[in-house]
Amino acid sequence: MKTFGICRFCNIVSGQYQHADIDRPFCENDAFIAVASIGALIEGWSLIIPKKHQLSMKATYNRPELEDIMDQVIPSIVRKYRPLIAFEHGSNREGSITACGTDHAHLHLVPFSESLIPSLENSNLHWVKCHASEIASRVGNNEYLFYSEVGTKDEWRRHIGYLHILERPISQYFRQLIAARTGHYEASDYRKFPYLETSKQTRKTLVGSEAQIGVEI
């Protein structure tokens, strides 16, 4: 019998899947995996996850392996779905509500044709333009939110995103914005609304594309 550890993403990295037809990575390299997100309000919603357990992505934004997996996954999502937005809820301690129910770092990639920038500008949070690779030096030990629009893989390299340094933890910020835009007001908590069929379809679609490198179907 499989034994599951405490961290859902460490389990996935070590091949322990709760839902193999969702959790099994559709793309991976030495340092990262790409998986279909559970709780996806939109088909194609994926996560980039570092293999090593860490609280946020900030130490990994400069890694060539991140660029490598983004170069595979972004064109695949764009081709199968549409251009995407990328965002992270960067937490700084185990159990923080800023992390979306997992203490293991991850970057959300969501095929979404609307920009969330107007919502960010109209929010009461202060956003600064920033490249992902600058996040670590800007935030220090604070929690943060990062948002970026990624039409193509070159845009990911060049693109300037929007950074907010959190003064207090905030729960599922971007998911709530997307839930409001898509009329899923009820669904801002993915544990109550896991939408597993959507996630299964995402994996099925992306595993058959060129993003699939070195993974079993």
Residues that bind Zn ion (CB under 5 A): 7, 9-10, 53, 89, 100, 104
Across the chain, how many H-helices and E-strands are there?
8, 8
SS3 at position 150? strand
Q: Which helix (H) or strand (E) holds 10?
A: helix 8-13
131-166 residues labelled b (16+ CB within 10 A) or e (exposed): ebebbbeebeeebbbbbbbbeebebbeeeebbbbbb
Closer to Zn ion at the Cβ: 100 or 207? 100
Smallest distance from the beta carbon of 89 to Zn ion, in angstroms? 5
Cβ of 1: how many Cβ atoms within 10 Å?
3
Closer to Zn ion at the Cβ: 70 or 212? 70
Smallest distance from the beta carbon of 206 to Zn ion, in angstroms? 18
Cα separation, 194 vs 104, in Å, equals 18
Smallest distance from the beta carbon of 123 to Zn ion, in angstroms? 18
Closer to Zn ion at the Cβ: 66 or 100? 100
Q: How far apart are the first and last CA of the chain?
A: 22
Smallest distance from the beta carbon of 208 to Zn ion, in angstroms? 25
Smallest distance from the beta carbon of 47 to Zn ion, in angstroms? 7
Q: Which two tokens stand for residue 34?
A: 């790409």
Closer to Zn ion at the Cβ: 104 or 203? 104
Closer to Zn ion at the Cβ: 22 or 100? 100
